[in-house]
Amino acid sequence: MRTIIKNGTVVTTSENYKADILVENETIVAIEAKTSASADLVIDAAGKLVFPGAIDVHTHFDMPFGGTVTADDFTTGTIAAAAGGTTCIIDYALQTPGKSLEDALQVWHARAEGKCAIDYGFHVAVTDLNDAVLNEIPGLIEKGYPSFKVFMAYKGVFQVDDATLLRVLKKSGEAGGLVLVHAENGDVIDVLTKEMLANGQTSPLYHALSRPPQAEEEAVNRYITMAALAGAPAYIVHLSDSSALGLVAEARLQGMPIYAETCPQYLFLALDRYNEPDFGGAKYVMSPPLREAGNNDFLWSGLDSGNLQVVASDHCSFNLKNQKELGRDDFTKIPNGAPGVETRVQLLFAGGVLENRISINKFVDLVSTAPARLFGLYPQKGTIAVGSEADLVVFDPEAPFTISAKTHHQNVDYNPYEGFTGRGVPVKVMSRGTVVIDDGRYVGKAGHGRFQTRKPFNAL
């Protein structure tokens, strides 16, 4: 099968140029100013941008959490991702305490197998460390799982102690892996939470107030210190707070291989959302929580300056009805997380590029190239080049959009960005040479998505 994408403007991290892209089966085989080749399918991209398929390195599909299971599974989650211009996701396989990391991977493979509309991979979350578990790490890196996650929060559930942090960082660092952290001080949060509940402060706002910026700052500081002690590269997921960002910037200035991602929710939403009436604040119960309004600008600057390298979604969807509602009388019972896999790319384009906060090349880097490089998928993914896989997005930068739960593909009954308007729509999305989104409609097949083994960590 030969496909030509004609007359588009190709955008990468370093260039924007008019070209025709020739795809043979799954691979880009030529990029020419004007091709004379013939093809089975010709896509006219005149007036459109063509960028590498976006990569979302932080999703939670089909995940049991907070006494329930996420609303999106690998079928609905990956269709929604594709509709938003994402062609590869990396989800988290969570270790069950007492079991091995291999066991976690088996469980998550079974959940994803045959369901995915786009390619996928797994990070492995370590929740219960012993020598045998620690010794699994080098073998897993060799098998194509080079990234591990640890939680400094969710006391009594996923939280690990400092010894675990240090041991995992050391082992992973020695073997060519990258350790990802949820950086919030779970013990501090536990004390504040108990105080609030004892005072009858049970509404969604107290979720945020029980997790102040200092809890994140302290954990980021501790984690960076551990990474320095271990001599290992380290990555902070869903960084939300300006002071925590300052710590990352300082470490990077000293030459430390510290990386961090933020998410659209921390760029576009703020603390006032927790005051929405009728338990509406529950839509935004996620960890870390939304911060004061002025914080967003610091994160945008962090993206522009390079101190934040990745924008991921942390898609973790729970319906308001019957799921978030579990915590109507007690914010600690609201399952943590929010949807966003479908809206990440459009929000960053409309709110970032069109609002002159970041360049279009930086946008491509944040949503595609940097995640591909940090997580061992480059150059087969994350760029448009001869020999790369044909994961491509034909994007109409002028087309208007309005975000709504009524029209999204995500299998959840609300959208945190309900009513947001902007410009920039992925009109066609190609996954390894196959069109999976055509004029906004999903036309792919479940099971097209292929599991991706990944290369060991390579510093940016």
Residues that bind Zn ion (CB under 5 A): 182, 314
Q: Counting contacts by CB under 6 A, is residue 48 touching ligand URP?
A: no
Q: Counting contacts by CB under 6 A, is residue 72 touching ligand URP?
A: no
Q: Counting contacts by CB under 6 A, is residue 86 touching ligand URP?
A: no
CB of 44 to ligand URP, least distance (A): 40
Q: Counting contacts by CB under 6 A, is residue 56 touching ligand URP?
A: no
Q: Which is nearer to Zn ion, 23 or 312 (CB)?
A: 312
Q: Counting contacts by CB under 6 A, is residue 60 touching ligand URP?
A: yes
Would you mind telling me the total number of residues written for the chain in this entry? 460
Q: Of Zn ion, ligand URP, none, which one sits near residue 105, judging by CB under 5 to 8 A according to partner kind? A: none
CB of 286 to ligand URP, least distance (A): 4
CB of 60 to Zn ion, least distance (A): 5
CB of 265 to Zn ion, least distance (A): 11
Q: Counting contacts by CB under 6 A, is residue 336 touching ligand URP?
A: yes
Q: Which is nearer to Zn ion, 236 or 320 (CB)?
A: 236
Q: Of ligand URP, Zn ion, none, which one sits near residue 426, judging by CB under 5 to 8 A according to partner kind? A: none
How many residues at the interface with ligand URP, by CB under 6 A?
9
Q: Which residues contact 417 (CB under 8 A, 6 or more apart)?
A: 264, 268, 269, 343, 347, 403
Q: Which is nearer to Zn ion, 151 or 268 (CB)?
A: 151
Q: How many CB atoms lie within 10 A of CB 118?
A: 28
Q: Which is nearer to ligand URP, 58 or 373 (CB)?
A: 58
Q: Of ligand URP, Zn ion, none, which one sits near residue 454, judging by CB under 5 to 8 A according to partner kind? A: none
Q: How many CB atoms lie within 10 A of CB 439?
A: 9
Binding mask 302-321 for ligand URP (x = CB under 6 A): ------------x-x-----
Sole residue written with tokens 């907070």: 66
CB of 429 to ligand URP, least distance (A): 25
Q: Counting contacts by CB under 6 A, is residue 287 touching ligand URP?
A: yes
Q: Of ligand URP, Zn ion, none, which one sits near residue 172, judging by CB under 5 to 8 A according to partner kind? A: none
Q: Which is nearer to Zn ion, 183 or 230 (CB)?
A: 183
Q: Counting contacts by CB under 6 A, is residue 152 touching ligand URP?
A: no
CB of 317 to ligand URP, least distance (A): 10
Q: Could you tell me if 123 and 140 are in contact, meaning their C-beta atoms sit under 8 angstroms apart?
A: no
Residues 182-201 that bind ligand URP (CB under 6 A): 182
Q: Of ligand URP, Zn ion, none, which one sits near residue 336, judging by CB under 5 to 8 A according to partner kind? A: ligand URP
* The three-state (H, E, C) secondary structure of the chain, written as one string: CEEEEEEEEEECCCCEEEEEEEEECCEEEEEECCCCCCCCEEEECCCCEEEECEEEEEECCCCEECCEECCCCHHHHHHHHHHCCEEEEEEEEECCCCCCHHHHHHHHHHHHCCCCCCEEEEEEECCCCCHHHHCHHHHHHHCCCCEEEEECCCCCCCECCHHHHHHHHHHHHHHCCEEEEECCCHHHHHHHHHHHHHCCCCCHHHHHHCCCHHHHHHHHHHHHHHHHHHCCCEEECCCCCHHHHHHHHHHHHCCCCEEEEECHHHHHCCHHHHHCCCCHHHHHCCCCCCCCCCHHHHHHHHHHHCCCCEECCCECCCCCCCCHHHHCCCHHHCCCCECCCCCHHHHHHHHHHCCCCCCHHHHHHHHHHHHHHHCCCCCCCCCCCCCCECCEEEEEEEEEEECCCCCCCCCCCCCCCCCCEEEEEEEEEEECCEEEEECCEECCCCCCCCECCCCCCCCC
Q: Which is nearer to ligand URP, 287 or 369 (CB)?
A: 287
Q: Which of 337, 340, 382, 444 binds ligand URP (CB under 6 A)?
A: 337
Q: Which residue is nearest to Zn ion (CB)?
A: 182
Q: Of ligand URP, Zn ion, none, which one sits near residue 370, judging by CB under 5 to 8 A according to partner kind? A: none
Sole residue written with tokens 């030529």: 30
CB of 211 to Zn ion, least distance (A): 11
Q: Which is nearer to ligand URP, 60 or 454 (CB)?
A: 60
Q: Which is nearer to ligand URP, 63 or 83 (CB)?
A: 63
CB of 336 to ligand URP, least distance (A): 3
| CB neighbour burial string for 147-174, b if at least 16 within 10 angstroms, e if fewer | bbbbbbbbbeebbbeeebbbbbbbbbbe
Q: Which is nearer to ligand URP, 314 or 391 (CB)?
A: 314
Contacting residues toward ligand URP, per CB under 6 A: 60, 182, 238, 286-287, 314, 316, 336-337
